[in-house]
Amino acid sequence: MTNRPNTPPHTPVRRTPWPEAAGRALATPMQPSVVYTSGSPDELDAHYEGSEQTYAYAREGHPNADVLAAKLDAMEGGQGGIVVGSGMAAITAVVLGLCQAGDHVLGGNQLYGKSLKMLGTDLPRLGIATSTADFTDVAAVEAAIRPETKLILLEVVSNPTIRVADVTGIAALAKKHGILLAVDNTFTTPRSFRPFDHGADVVIHSVTKILAGHSDATLGYACALLPEHNAALAMASSTWGLTASPFDCWIAERGLYSFDLRYDQAERNAAALADHLVGLKGVKRVLYPTRADHPDAPRGAELLGARGSHMVSFEIEGGRAEANRLVRAVPELPFAPTLGDVATTISHPCTSSHRLLSAEALAELGINEGFFRISVGIEETDMILGSFTRALEAI
Ligand SMILES: *Cc1c(COP(=O)(O)O)cnc(C)c1O
């Protein structure tokens, strides 16, 4: 040892303090810390009593989730929402936070596949009864309501059949019967539809899709109107361990800065593609909610205005052979069962999301081997239209 008597022995194992001034960074820092220090037991006590907005343990809350939640709150016109590890985690937080054994949950019969699975087998296992109804038919929804119905789970536009739910009618029923209305707004996004303006008590998102928008983060969001409901969601998230990764939150929040531009371009492209497909030989029908030939056109106009979203479905003449030819003709459009990537992707529900459905169930939904769903991206419009011209020529 040299003669530096006042220097305590150092080991790099001990933490080096983070500069206070780093709090003034312009861009959101990524904070992966699992734990946060407190100055004293008094301070930690104040944190848990809620009198101080601090952090203790990442599973209970961390700054990257809070920054992302605040941004999504602002977009949805909500307050105090939570960010969790996936869209399914958000639905889990809502159901486990707001329902208990003996309650009944009513869902649309064309919900996202895993939501239907949760209603079909998992909630009943926990003593929560469930059923589904056609949400384009408000009389069918009313008939499915029971005295113990606690929650209605609705998607505005169904996937992949692009049917538009009777949100106004269902919101009125929910109010009349004292039922909570939870709207999964993943497809429509707050740019096309803001559920709180239409009577929703809870808004849910799979942020994984076009909100994050780059196919590199798995996240969910849920926000209730009432603070006590949000507290229940946050407690469910902490107890059931639904926490989101700080990195995913960080990269999704970064992506949201360009969300309006991305969404508007994808939507413009989707509307143009829907019109283009109608004119192509071999196309049997096109489903886009703001087109006059859509089965729910008046409702689409009422709820969405001109904001038809970035999703288009269509059916070609022919079966599996023609479907194979179409997909193989456009290798520049990834064939992937996702939605909301930056660029256009094609999916074929018959062999992916809906492969476990019976032939009768598929027929009832109008899905067959010629049915495709397109998640439209932000490429130049002509590039997308050109690809589909060639795809249809190839069959
Ligand atoms: C993808 C999706 C979900 C589930 O989200 P994950 O992030 O994959 O868990 C829920 N609802 C809708 C409408 C979806 O498209």
pLDDT of 129: 98
Token pair listed for 277: 């497909």
Mean pLDDT of 224-250: 98
For ligand 1, which residues put their CB under 6 angstroms from it?
86-88, 112, 115, 155, 159, 184, 186-187, 206, 208-209, 218, 220
Output the domain CATH number for residue 305.
3.90.1150.10
- Over range 351-364, report the average pLDDT: 88
- Ligand 1 atom nearest residue 155's Cα: 13
Atom of ligand 1 nearest to the CA of 207: 7
| Together in a domain, 173 and 133 | yes
- pLDDT for res 18: 87
Position with higher pLDDT, 357 vs 363: 363
Q: CA nearest 157: which of 30, 317, 270? A: 270
Q: Give percent of the chain with pLDDT exceeding 90.
A: 86
Work out the pLDDT band at 7, boundaries 50, 70, 90: confident
Strands of the sheet containing 311-316, edge to edge, are 283-287, 311-316, 371-375, 345-347
| Mean pLDDT value across the chain | 95
Query: What is the predicted pLDDT for the residue at 48?
Result: 87
Could you tell me if residue 51 is inside a domain? Answer: yes
Residue nearest to atom 4 of ligand 1 (CA): 87
- The reply to whether 182 and 266 lie within a common domain is no
The contacts found for 28-37 with CB under 8 angstroms, 24 or more apart, are 28/64, 28/67, 28/250, 28/253, 28/254, 29/250, 30/64, 30/246, 30/247, 30/250, 31/62, 31/63, 31/64, 31/246, 32/246, 32/247, 33/58, 33/62, 34/58, 34/59
Query: For residue 20, is it within any domain?
Result: no
Digit-coded pLDDT (tens) for 214-234: 999 999 999 999 999 999 999
| pLDDT value for 52 | 72
Amino acid, single-letter form, for residue 222: A
How many angstroms does the Cα of residue 384 sit away from the middle of ligand 1?
25
What is the per-residue pLDDT across 168-206, written as a single tens digit (0 to 9) for each?
999 999 999 999 999 999 999 999 999 999 999 999 999
Q: Is the pLDDT of residue 1 over 60?
A: no
Range of the domain at 333: 259-393
Let me know if residue 45 belongs to a domain.
Answer: yes
User: Is residue 161 located within the same domain as residue 249?
Assistant: yes
CATH classification at residue 144: 3.40.640.10
Same domain for 215 and 290, yes or no, is no
Q: How far apart are CA 182 and CA 283, in angstroms?
A: 36
- Give the pLDDT confidence of 285-311 residue by residue, as tens digits: 999 999 999 999 999 999 999 999 999
User: Which residue, by CA, sits nearest to atom 6 of ligand 1?
Assistant: 87
